Amino acid sequence: MPRSTPVAHILSGALAIGSQVTVSGWLRSKRDSKAGISFLAVHDGSAFDALQAVVPSALENYQSEVLHLSTGCAVTVHGELVASQGKGQSVEIQASAVEVHGWVEDPESYPIAKKRHSFEYLRTQAHLRPRTNTFGAITRVRATLANAIHNYFHQHGFCWVNTPIITGSDCEGAGELFRVSTLDFANLPRTADGAVDFGQDFFDGEAFLTVSGQLEVESYCLAMSKVYTFGPTFRAENSNTSRHLAEFWMVEPEVAFADLQDNADLAEDLLKHLLSRVLEEREDDMAFFQQRIDSGVIERLRGVIEQPFERMEYGEAVRILENCGESFEFPVAWGTDLASEHERYLAEKHVGRPVVLMNYPKDIKAFYMRLNDDGETVAAMDVLAPGIGEIIGGSQREERLEVLDQRMDPALRGELWWYRDLRRYGTVPHAGFGLGFERLLNYVTGMENVRDAIPFPRTPGNAHF
What is the tens place of the pLDDT at every residue in 429-439? 999 999 999 99
**Structure confidence at residue 324 (pLDDT):** 94
| CATH number, domain 131-175+211-452, options 3.40.309.10, 3.10.310.30, 2.60.40.1580, 3.30.930.10 | 3.30.930.10
pLDDT per residue over 399-451, tens digit each?
Answer: 999 999 999 999 889 989 999 999 999 999 999 999 999 999 999 999 999 99
CATH number, span 7-102: 2.40.50.140
Of the CA atoms within 13 Å of residue 409, those in its CB half-sphere come to 12
Distance CA 321, CA 325 (A): 8
Q: Examine the pLDDT at 8 and tell me if it is beyond 60.
A: yes
Q: What is the mean pLDDT of residues 377-387?
A: 96
C-beta separation of 141 from 444 below 8 A: yes
Q: CATH 3.30.930.10: which residues of the chain?
A: 131-175+211-452
Q: What is the mean pLDDT of residues 331-352?
A: 95
pTM: 0.95
Confidence of residue 2 (pLDDT cuts 50, 70, 90): low
Q: Examine the pLDDT at 386 and tell me if it is beyond 60.
A: yes
Q: CATH 2.40.50.140: which residues of the chain?
A: 7-102
Distance CA 110, CA 15 (A): 34
Q: Examine the pLDDT at 261 and tell me if it is beyond 80.
A: yes
C-beta separation of 179 from 249 below 8 A: no
Q: What is the mean pLDDT of residues 233-240?
A: 91
Kindly write down the DSSP assignment for every residue of 318-380, as one continuous string.
HHHHHTS----SS---TTSPPPHHHHHIIIIIIISS-EEEEEEEGGGS-TTBPBPTTSSEEEE
Q: Examine the pLDDT at 41 and tell me if it is beyond 70.
A: yes
Mean residue pLDDT of the chain comes to 95
CA-based nearest residue to 434, from 284, 213, 183 = 213
What is the phi/psi pair of residue 88, to 5°?
85, 0
Confidence of residue 113 (pLDDT cuts 50, 70, 90): confident
Distance CA 342, CA 360 (A): 15
**Structure confidence at residue 174 (pLDDT):** 56
C-beta separation of 301 from 279 below 8 A: yes
Give residues with Cβ within 8 angstroms of 50, minimum separation 6. 7, 25, 28, 29, 41, 42, 43
257-to-59, 212, 295, 399 alpha-carbon distances in Å? 69, 22, 42, 11
Provide, rounded to the nearest whole percent, the portion of the chain with pLDDT above 70.
Answer: 98
Give the range among 20-24, 37-41, 116-120, 132-136 with minimum mean pLDDT. Answer: 116-120
**Structure confidence at residue 1 (pLDDT):** 64
**Structure confidence at residue 116 (pLDDT):** 85
The distance from CA 108 to its chain's CA centroid, rounded to whole angstroms, is 34
SS3 for 153?
helix
**Structure confidence at residue 171 (pLDDT):** 62
Confidence of residue 172 (pLDDT cuts 50, 70, 90): low
What is the phi/psi pair of residue 254, to 5°?
-145, 135
Strands (E), 203-293: 208-209, 226-234, 247-256
Q: Examine the pLDDT at 187 and tell me if it is beyond 60.
A: yes
